Amino acid sequence: MLHIDTIAEVRAACERARRAGRTVGVVPTMGFLHEGHRSLIRQARARTDFVVVTIFVNPLQFGAGEDLDRYPRDLAGDLSQCADEGVDCVFAPSQAEMYPRPPLTTVHVAQLTDGLCGAARPTHFDGVTTVVTKLFAIVGPSVAFFGRKDAQQLAVVTRMVHDLDLPVEVVGCPLVREADGLALSSRNAYLDPEERAAAPVLFRALRAASDAVVAGERDAARVRAIVATEVAEQPRVTLEYVEVRDAHELTQLTQLDGEVLLAVAARFGHTRLIDNVGITVDGNTVRVDLGTGQVLA
């Protein structure tokens, strides 16, 4: 496995792979890898020939007062997990390599970034789209794998690639959960034992709302209320938002129809967690994508 920290070297490695007739797969991450990241890597391994995992804690996507300085890092552990998964190349650049000067050029996707996480984190998605554009420019024509855990990010990156004709195919991958339903996240490491015990309330709430949709509920306000009521029963949690949106356009829905995103964000002490389920409503037929994992009944 190659471990590269310069743009020139990773660009050359990807070009070499393509010249040899191999497809390039890229999995952008901020490191501190867990089973969610590994599921993306496995998809990349299955679908492409030369798999690049990028590890970069991107300062541009953290707001003032957010957790940039304490974001968990473990490069040695990440490298060994990547080697276990048969990754071909890990690109782990320094901040100076990625941003030798503060960038004067940024990428902004309008509308899709306005609400949901964009409301509480107004600069976040510009940071994401700017770094992802840089990574795509560095890696070149490729297939990129993103988790549905970050459903808004997936919608934003997908739209950006369309709008800018970037030579990248974006693939959304299932959300991976712990056995008790908590969505895996590097930020789960911040939770103290009591917060960790409380955290599965998000999944319970999403599942209760999903059950109501399966039973025939289509009113978005009532679906949101089910989530809010369930979360309110857990005293350690402050709900930031619960939203019912079109899964692709991210427009607010009053009735559930088509491909729907039911998304939630909440604070557990100082830790902000997000979660979601995808609900497809086609007349009386409802399909709920709860993610994967040994979720308890």
Site string for ligand AMP, 255-274 (x = CB under 6 A): --------------------
Is 3 a known active-site residue?
no
**Cβ–Cβ under 8 Å, residues 152 and 118:** yes
The letter for the amino acid at 144 is: A
What single DSSP character describes residue 165?
T
The footprint of ligand AMP on residues 186-205 (CB under 6 A) is: 186
- Number of helices and strands in the chain (H, E): 10, 10
Q: Distance between CA atoms of 23 and 43, rounded to whole angstroms?
A: 13
Residue at token pair 């059950």: 211
Give the one residue of 85, 88, 150, 230 binding ligand AMP; rule: CB under 6 A: 150
Q: Which of 37, 108, 124, 248 is catalytic?
A: 37
Q: Which residue in the shown chain puts its C-beta closest to ligand AMP?
A: 147
Q: Tell me the CA distances in angstroms from 238 to 172, 195, 198, 206, 273, one per residue in order.
A: 29, 12, 11, 15, 10
**Cβ–Cβ under 8 Å, residues 168 and 194:** no
Q: Sign of the C-alpha dihedral, residues 196, 206, 148, 291?
A: positive
Asked whether position 17 contacts ligand AMP by CB under 6 A, the answer is no
Q: Distance between CA atoms of 245 and 144, rounded to whole angstroms?
A: 24
Residue at token pair 């709430």: 205
Asked whether position 143 contacts ligand AMP by CB under 6 A, the answer is no
Nearest residue (CB) to ligand AMP, 39 versus 133: 39
Give the one residue of 149, 159, 245, 272 binding ligand AMP; rule: CB under 6 A: 149
3-state class of 6 per DSSP? coil
**Cβ–Cβ under 8 Å, residues 146 and 28:** yes
Asked whether position 142 contacts ligand AMP by CB under 6 A, the answer is no
Residue range at the interface with ligand AMP (CB under 6 A); choices 37-45, 116-124, 159-167, 204-212: 37-45
Give the one residue of 17, 117, 183, 223 binding ligand AMP; rule: CB under 6 A: 183
Report in angstroms how near the CB of residue 208 gets to ligand AMP at its nearest: 20
**Cβ–Cβ under 8 Å, residues 151 and 278:** yes
Report in angstroms how near the CB of residue 135 gets to ligand AMP at its nearest: 12
Residue range at the interface with ligand AMP (CB under 6 A); choices 44-52, 160-168, 176-184, 202-210: 176-184
Residue at token pair 């297939």: 143
Nearest residue (CB) to ligand AMP, 40 versus 206: 40
Report in angstroms how near the CB of residue 258 gets to ligand AMP at its nearest: 22
Q: Distance between CA atoms of 156 and 221, rounded to whole angstroms?
A: 25
Residue range at the interface with ligand AMP (CB under 6 A); choices 16-24, 168-176, 252-260, 265-273: 168-176
Question: Within 10 A of 261 (CB to CB), how many other CB atoms are there?
Answer: 23
Nearest residue (CB) to ligand AMP, 58 versus 210: 58
**Binding region for ligand AMP (CB under 6 A):** 29-30, 36-37, 39-40, 146-147, 149-150, 173, 175-176, 183-186
Active site residues: 37
